[in-house]
Amino acid sequence: MQRRTFLTATTVSLAATQIVGPAYAYAAPSHSPSGSTAAGHYEVVARFWGAMPTGVTVSRRGRVFVNFPRWGDDVPFTVAELRGGKPVAYPDAEVNREDASDLAGHFQSVQSVVVDPADRLWILDTGSPLFAGSSYGGPKLVAVDLRTDRIVRKILFPPEVVPANSYPNDVRFDLRRGAEGMAFITDSGGSNGIIVVDLATGRSWRRLAGHPSALPDGQFLPVIEGEPFMVRPAGGEPIHYETGSDGIALSADGTRLYYCPLSSRRLHSVSTDALADPDATDAEVAATVEDLGFKPMADGLESDDRGRLYGGDLEHNSIWRRSPNGTYRTLAQGSDLLWVDTLSVASDRHLYAIANQLNRLSPFHEGKDLRRKPYLLVRLPIDAGPVRLV
């Protein structure tokens, strides 16, 4: 089942879910590890008692940004900065107001926030609240200047690049390419694949659409919290959960883009030179794809400046690191690391991660929302910094 089908089921189930407590809540950083195992330790940075977060990113000065997609929870603002112990609408409340009459002028449903190598905050708006499909103006990439906290760039995706059933998921940046850099985005809906954006012109194009490396594994059946992870509609038969290209990360030298379907245990990479060439054919891009073998079931991916990859192991409540030689190491594990979503390497040489219990959503449990708040933002020390291609 493609993510689009799952999203339709989610719309009905989550819209009926009653959120108890405040829309957002935040706990001050813990000064001692909240989780500790033989694999390592992590500390809780924030606890969220309302809407479910998916993304996190950290600026060079340590400003922390998160986002809350409009999947059915009460979401008064879809992008926030953590300030003085609480999330605040960012860059302001007005732009965060969902407005179907002004799709381009407001954030509709943000899936990802990423600080680029120039220390600008980029906001990836799916344009698809409740996964109901998008229209032109909704799906967009928006840049905020962190010195002034003002929007300085807005790139709208045309329907031929981001069709109504697409779901732009996560983004990475190489500012050395072209006049002002390029962005690479995974599309988890529609035909899956990679979206490439020329930041100078705003032109965008699709690559690897429908390529096997970007598609879900139809035989994939993970086990999470002791049971097969499947879509389980109330009164219906369980069906496989199938989501394609999701996690994304750039190599430290910028020559390769790593990506993975969510419904898979395979990791692939592709040449960024091929992706960034608007005149390259699909066949020419596909010829540069490499199968890098096994990886744990992961949602987001991240990389550091030492050439290593990071992800969450959704089946084992843990966070792993992959070395350039292909070996894996578990960095942290804990019962509260339930569905590690987005990861972000920060200048403070920590890896930040969102754990949001996505597997407990009602579509996977016959209409019953089993999430137990709070959702967590955690971090753990690593001996590396972020990839900065500038």
Note the pLDDT tens digit of each residue in 85-134.
789 999 999 999 999 999 999 999 999 999 999 999 999 999 999 999 99
- Give the gyration radius of the chain's Cα atoms: 19
| CA–CA–CA angle 367, 372, 374 (5° rounding) | 135
3-state secondary structure the chain: CCHHHHHHHHHHHHHCCCCCCCCCCCCCCCCCCCEEECCEEEEEEEEECCCCCCEEEECCCCCEEEECCCCCCCCCCCEEEEECCEEEECCCCCCCCCCCCCCCCCCCCEEEEEECCCCEEEEEECCCHHHCCCCCCCCEEEEEECCCCEEEEEEECCCCCCCCCCCEEEEEEECCCCCCCEEEEEECCCCCEEEEEECCCCCEEEECCCCHHHCCCCCCCCEECCEECEECCCCCCCEECCCCEEEEEECCCCCEEEEEECCCCEEEEEEHHHHHCCCCCHHHHHCCCEEEEECCCCCCEEEECCCCEEEEECCCCEEEEECCCCCEEEEEECCCCCCEEEEEECCCCEEEEEECCHHHCHHHCCCCCCCCCCEEEEEEECCCCECCCC
Asked if residues 307 and 325 have their Cβ atoms less than 8 Å apart, the reply is no
Number of other residues whose CB lies within 10 A of the CB of residue 232: 20
Give the residue-averaged pLDDT of 135-143. Answer: 98
Residue with tokens 């072209």: 178
Per-residue pLDDT band for 84 (boundaries 50, 70, 90) equals confident
Q: Report the alpha-carbon distance of residue 290 to residue 100 in Å, rounded.
A: 41
pLDDT 10s digits, 269-323: 999 999 999 999 999 999 999 999 999 999 999 999 999 999 999 999 999 999 9
Percent of the chain scoring above 70 in pLDDT: 89
Q: Provide the pLDDT for residue 90.
A: 98
15 has pLDDT over 60:
no
Beta bridge partners, 290, equal 269
> What pLDDT score does 25 carry?
37
* pTM for the structure as a whole: 0.92
pLDDT, tens only, 18-74: 323 333 333 333 333 445 444 568 999 999 999 999 999 999 999 999 999 999 999
Q: Residue 209 above 50 pLDDT?
A: yes
User: Residue 48 class from Cβ within 10 Å (0-12 exposed, 13-18 middle, 19+ buried)?
Assistant: buried
